[in-house]
Every structure is written in structure tokens, then in C-alpha cells.
């Protein structure tokens, strides 16, 4: 007879379409749902979750302070790669396994990044502003072909960006914490360690930040490092907002110390209407949606459903997070 605690019973702390709930049920798992849309206040626990052993949530915003009410939790599946809220000191010290959606959003994020590079290079934001003002005015334009792009945080997302950048005849530098010998099929032209960050920033035309939120990456891009960039270079952040000192970036953009930027992530989200960054003209802002495509949730749920089967069979789960590293 199967021990009660090994039967998947899932506490879902997100708003999930019914078709996925039906698939979860078909897998043999039981579930309890407290709907929670991104940006809404955390919902109260309305049901008995004391015998739940799995949680499906968004690690980006959920600190999972409900574990005392669910002592049998073995595994938490985050519907995001980032785990900014979830990785508390308490969570790091316990035995709960955390998995994320690594790889599920690499392609849409890479496509978004290429769109931002193209938009910055061709001065698209200026063109839109001129169009709204009915102003027939030329805009600053530069080439992608022949330019150098440096991808800081060269993981799966970085490789997808590099693959597309090479198709545009760009020179690609991958920069990562633990650089390895470049594989012959790697799209990057060279791979270096983070200790070379400032020299990389000094030579690049497009700086792509694809970093996780960790103590080591917090405010990594500060005034000193921004000063190393060329006046003609651009910065794009599709990683985490707290890797940049926003005030310093705003100053560099306003003073034209760098040519422009595109930001999908910010220290405070949603970005407050009164935030000074809205007034920066050589900046493209997107509302943390680089990851999104019509197929994003489908990819997330495919990983989760596969992991349910692995959980039932006692196999290693997909996308297990190193809680000490944060990714």
C-alpha cells in the first residue's frame, strides 16, 4: 500500500486554466487551488493544506510563508526561473526541493532581446516619438552587423541570444561565473569569466544582462562599471532589476554617457508611475514580459506534469535549483 505522503497532493497558488487542472487530475494527483494573479495581494489559505506535499507557485513573488501549515511539503515547483521571493534563509536550510522553469522561456527572451537590440540600433523609439509629434526628423542609427555583443550571465538564455546575434554577423562574447572551455558548436566567439567584466564592458557595443538575482549580482552594474562603457554603447537588461544601480543608469542615460538602454526588469515592480526612469528618452521600457509568448504556460505545465510523474516514481526532478547559488 502506498504511503499517504507519497501520493501527489498539490497546493496551487496561482490562477491556472481548467485544462491544466484536468491534466493534473489525470496524472493521478489531487489538488487544492487558491487563485493568485501576478500583481494581486497574496491570497489567504481557504482550505486545509496540512497533507499537501507539493506546491505550485511563482517563486518570483511567493515567499511561501505557509510551510508551517503544510509540514509534508517535499517539493515546490516555481512557474518562473527567478526565485527572488522564495529563496529565504529558512527555505535554503530546509530539505524542500525547488524546481523552476529553466529553458522554457529561453527562446522568447532571446527574441525579445534581439528586438530590443534592433530597436536601439535603428532608433525606433525616437521614430515613434517623432511620428506621434508629426515630426519628419532623422534619428540616430547604427549597425548590428560587425558590432560586438557581450552577454553577461551566459547560460541557456544567453546561448539562444548568441545564436541569433551570430545570424546578424555580430561578434559575441559570453561572460559567466564559471567559464568553461568553449565547445566547437557554441555560438559565442569567446567565453570569459566575470572577473573580466569591466574590460568586456569597455569593448562591447551591446551589453546584455541575463543575470539571476543573487548576493553576488546585487548592484553589480554600478557607477564605476557604467563609466567603463563607450558613449556609443547600449545596455539591455532581461535578467533581474536589482543587478543595476538604477539611479546611476538614469544619470548615464540622461547625460548621454551611453547611447541608450532597454529594460524589461526593475528593482520595484510594477514600476511606479512617478519613477524618474519613465522620463528618460533614450530608453525602451517593457513590463517584465520578455519571457512571454502564447506558448509560455504550456511549456511551464509540460515541465510540471513531467515532474509529477517523476515524483510519483521517485526519480530525479527536472530543473532542480541549487538553493545556495539561487539558480
Catalytically annotated residue among 219, 269, 275, 310: 269
Place of cell 511567493: 62
288: annotated active-site residue? yes
> In this structure, what DSSP letter does residue 178 have?
S
Which stretches of the chain are DSSP H helices? 18-26, 89-93, 106-121, 124-132, 156-167, 197-203, 223-227, 246-254, 296-313
- Burial label for 68, CB within 10 Å (0-12, 13-18, 19+), is exposed
178: annotated active-site residue? no
Catalytically annotated residue among 13, 164, 240, 252: 240
Q: Is the peptide bond before 161 cis (omega within 30 degrees of 0)?
A: no
129: annotated active-site residue? no
Using DSSP, state whether 89 is helix, strand or coil: helix
Distance CA 146, CA 151 (A): 16
When computed from its CA atoms, the radius of gyration of the chain, rounded to whole angstroms, is: 22
Q: Which three cell numbers stand for residue 94?
A: 530546509
Catalytically annotated residue among 13, 14, 112, 288: 288
Torsion angle, alpha carbons of 263, 265, 269, 273, to 10: 0
Q: Across the beta sheet with 75-78, what order do the strands follow?
A: 30-33, 9-12, 54-57, 75-78, 97-99
Residues with catalytic annotation?
A: 240, 269, 288
Amino acid at each position: 500500500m502506498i504511503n499517504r505522503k507519497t501520493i501527489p497532493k498539490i497546493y496551487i497558488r496561482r490562477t491556472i486554466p481548467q485544462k491544466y487542472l484536468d491534466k493534473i487530475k489525470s496524472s493521478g494527483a489531487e489538488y487544492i487551488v487558491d487563485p493568485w494573479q501576478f500583481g494581486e495581494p497574496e491570497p489567504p489559505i481557504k482550505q486545509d493544506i496540512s497533507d499537501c506535499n507539493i506546491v505550485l507557485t511563482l517563486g518570483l513573488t511567493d515567499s511561501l510563508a505557509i510551510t508551517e501549515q503544510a509540514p509534508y511539503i517535499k517539493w515546490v515547483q516555481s512557474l518562473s526561473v527567478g526565485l527572488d521571493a522564495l529563496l529565504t534563509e529558512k527555505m535554503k536550510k530546509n530539505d524542500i526541493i525547488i524546481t523552476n522553469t529553466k529553458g522554457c522561456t529561453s527562446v522568447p527572451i532571446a527574441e525579445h532581446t534581439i528586438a530590443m537590440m534592433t530597436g536601439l540600433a535603428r532608433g525606433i523609439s525616437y521614430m515613434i516619438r517623432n511620428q506621434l509629434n508629426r515630426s519628419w526628423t532623422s534619428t540616430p542609427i547604427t549597425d548590428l552587423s560587425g558590432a560586438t555583443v557581450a552577454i553577461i550571465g551566459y547560460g541557456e538564455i544567453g546561448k539562444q541570444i548568441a545564436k541569433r546575434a551570430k545570424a546578424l554577423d555580430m561578434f559575441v562574447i559570453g561572460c559567466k561565473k564559471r567559464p568553461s572551455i568553449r565547445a566547437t558548436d557554441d555560438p559565442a566567439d569567446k567565453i570569459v569569466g566575470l572577473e573580466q567584466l569591466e574590460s568586456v564592458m569597455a569593448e562591447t557595443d551591446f551589453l546584455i544582462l541575463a543575470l539571476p538575482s543573487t548576493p553576488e549580482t546585487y548592484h553589480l552594474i554600478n557607477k564605476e562599471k557604467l563609466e567603463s562603457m563607450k558613449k556609443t554603447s547600449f545596455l539591455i537588461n532581461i535578467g533581474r532589476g536589482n543587478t543595476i544601480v538604477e539611479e546611476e543608469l538614469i544619470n548615464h542615460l540622461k547625460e548621454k554617457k551611453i547611447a541608450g538602454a532597454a529594460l524589461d526588469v526593475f528593482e520595484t515592480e510594477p514600476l511606479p508611475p512617478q519613477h524618474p526612469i519613465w522620463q528618460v528618452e533614450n530608453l525602451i521600457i517593457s513590463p517584465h514580459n520578455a519571457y512571454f509568448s502564447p506558448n509560455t504556460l504550456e511549456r511551464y505545465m509540460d515541465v510540471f506534469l513531467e515532474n509529477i510523474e517523476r515524483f510519483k516514481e521517485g526519480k530525479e526532478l527536472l530543473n532542480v535549483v541549487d538553493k545556495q547559488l539561487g539558480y
